Structures are given as structure tokens and as C-alpha cells.
Amino acid sequence: MEYSAKVMDHFMNPRNVGEIEDASGVGTVGNAKCGDIMKVYLKIENGIIEDAKFKTFGCGAAVATSSMATELVKGKTIQEALEITNKAVMEALDGLPPVKVHCSCLAEEALHAALWDYAEKNNIVIEGLEKPVDDIDELHNLPEE
């Protein structure tokens, strides 16, 4: 298994690591059981995503996809943000090894979760956005092994 140079760059020098204190929306997906947790913070003003930050627990691909997804989403409208699919994140990273494709799905879900949080906080409905299923709470409800 080998990562592309772009994946390695975004892993070694991740963009947008951190938190946004007064975030408009925060989304957390994944769980510690599968080994990946992504938390995305969005700052949204006048329908535009002004800033995006993330924290990720996960492998190289998980960090790189978080980094790329937050890069892609910055400056976009909410509707444009919904178009950032896992495929788009993957393509922007020059591809991922097959076993790591699920990481790119997490990045897409994390963006959606943050947007969902924003919609809920502001009592609005974002067309085409479905309620995210993954939640960090799964972490506290791990089945006994």
C-alpha cells in the first residue's frame, strides 16, 4: 500500500488543523472502534463557508482527507459544499489505496454533519442534506468484547 505524494503532503502538513471557537456548525463522525474519528468545524456567514477547521483521530488517509475536505469547502456556498463528495476529495488527493476509500467517505460525512448542525442551530432546512448517522456517541456505547 502506498500513498500518493499529495496524500503524504496533506498528512505531513495538514491544512486547517484546529478548532473554531464560535463555529456555526460542528460535525463529528466515525468512532474509535473502526479507528477513525473526524470532527469538522465550519464558520458560515451569509451562506458562505468562511472558514473550516478539523481534528482527526485516524490513519494517514484520514488526516489527509480531512485536510483536503476542509480546503475544498472554504469559500463555497452551502449548496456547493454539498457537492463535495468523497470522490471529489479522493480525486483532489490523486487517489487513495482501495482499503482507505472509507476515509474519504468519512470526510464527506463530517462536512455533512457540520452542515446539519448549522441547519439545526439556525432552524433551517438545507435542501438535499440528510441527517448524518455516524456519531461520536458510539464511542461511549461500544459493545462489550
Burial class (CB within 10 angstroms; exposed 0-12, middle 13-18, buried 19+) of 137: exposed
Q: Give yes or no: 59 in active site.
A: no
Residue among 57 and 71 whose Cβ is closer to other proteins: 57
Which residues are within 8 A (CB) of 25 and not within 5 positions of it... i.e. 6 or more apart? 41, 42, 44, 114, 115, 116, 117, 118, 119, 121
Q: Give yes or no: 34 in active site.
A: yes
Distance CA 107, CA 85 (A): 9
Pick one of 28, 65, 86, 104: the residue that binds other proteins (CB under 8 A).
28
Q: How far is the CB of 131 from other proteins (least distance, A)?
A: 20
Pick one of 77, 99, 122, 124: the residue that binds other proteins (CB under 8 A).
99
Binding site for other proteins (CB under 8 A): 8, 11-12, 14, 17, 19, 28, 32-39, 55-63, 99-100, 136, 139, 142, 145
